[in-house]
Amino acid sequence: MTERLSAPYRLHYAYTRSTGPVIGRFLDSLRDRVLEGIRAADGRVLFPPTEYDEQGRATTGEFVQLRPTGTVTSYTWVNEPRPTHPLDRPFAWALIKLDGADTAMVHAVDAGKEKAMKVGMRVRVRWAEKATGTIRDIVCFDPISPIIKTPVDLNYFVRPGEHQSQYLHALAEGRFIGGRCRVTGRVYVPPRGATPESGLPTEDEVIDLPDTGVLTTFTVVRIPFEGQKLTPPYVFGAIVLDGADVPIYHLVSGIPYEQIRMGMRVRAKWKPREEWGTTLENIEYFEPTGEPDAPFDSYAMHL
């Protein structure tokens, strides 16, 4: 069989168009980022404007300025844009009725993904940076969200006060201290400028406390959230140090989660001394001491 021949062939010619009084004005207005429809004989506003309506009746010549926003009345999704398409990524061809217009125009919506497209969705014109007086002065339409971003950014200094500072300085030396309530004698960790029981500062003389105690209760955090510093899952619990009457809260580790239990005797696992500062973060976590569990009644008043 003889070979079938083929050769590329390009027809190219720079045609011109006479746009007429209506389309011409419409395109010229686009240069100034102005959208103009035209009033039809029956009172409707046609956009884009035409010299005649779909019945062939002449339009009135009265131009009506429209807002650059509208509503999608129908669409089809384009997964693989062609070189001549207005966008180089997947987009929607949509019928868009501008606010104040009675007819829809075809244009592209840059919605990102098909799921974001919906009949009835609100869209806004994205203008081209450089005007050409063609329909390409409208690059495409962008979805309008009724939501705006309003970030808040507040900057504070945290000044922990006299009693808390004393406690934090002790932590920097690897020690726990508490303060005794002047009225009830109960021991608060940290010492307080005012105890909830008396309203008075704890006694001036602070009490040294060991880094051992009882895990009274706990939770395993498995939920991630914005701003979280630790990676779930992790366990934090209430630990009443031996000799104290209020719990402190810290991580519990060094043992599989399912073996952690209420009443477990625990001890602080300190970070290396060179990492210590004025913070409870000097302690990595509390871990089991291996001693027998405390009986429930011995810590039930701390729950």
Partner 1 sequence: MSERCAVIGIGQTKHSESRKDVSLAGLLREAAFRALADAGLESFQDIDAVVIGTAPDMFEGVMMPELFLADALGAVGKPIMRVHTAGSVGGSTAIVASSLIQTGIHERVLTLAFEKQSESNAMWALSPAIPFQPQLVAGAGGYFAPLIRAYIRRHDAHPDTGCVVAVKDREHGLLNPYAHLHLKQTLEEVKAAPVLWDPIRYSETCPSSDGAVAMVLASEKAAQGIKNPAWVRGTSVRTESTFRAHRDQINPQAGKDCAKHVYAQAGITNPYEEIDVAEIYVPFSWFEPMWLENLGFAEEGQGWRLTMDGKTRLGAEMPINPSGGVMCTNPIGASGMLRFAEAALQVRGMAGAHQVDGAKTALGHAYGGGSQFFAMWVVSSEKP
Name the site residues for partner 1 (rule: CB under 8 A): 146-147, 150, 152, 158, 160, 164, 168, 181, 184, 186-188, 195-197, 216-223, 225-230, 232, 236-238, 245-246, 249-251, 257, 262, 278-281, 296, 300-303
Q: Is there a cis peptide before residue 8, judged by omega within 30 degrees of 0?
A: no
Min dist CB 299 to partner 1, Å, is 10
* Residue 27, helix vs strand vs coil: helix
In terms of CB distance, is 50 or 216 closer to partner 1? 216
Min dist CB 144 to partner 1, Å, is 12
In terms of CB distance, is 45 or 121 closer to partner 1? 121
181: nearest Cα among 166, 168, 171, 196: 196
Chain centre distance of CA 29: 39
- φ/ψ (deg, to 5) at 170: -65, -40
In terms of CB distance, is 51 or 296 closer to partner 1? 296
Min dist CB 102 to partner 1, Å, is 25
Tell me how far apart the alpha carbons of residues 292 and 192 are, in angstroms, rounded to a whole number.
32
In terms of CB distance, is 69 or 278 closer to partner 1? 278
Min dist CB 148 to partner 1, Å, is 10
In terms of CB distance, is 11 or 301 closer to partner 1? 301
- φ/ψ (deg, to 5) at 115: -60, -25
Question: Which residues, at least 6 apart from 118, have a Cβ–Cβ distance to it below 8 Å?
Answer: 72
Min dist CB 168 to partner 1, Å, is 6
Tell me how far apart the alpha carbons of residues 231 and 149 are, in angstroms, rounded to a whole number.
28
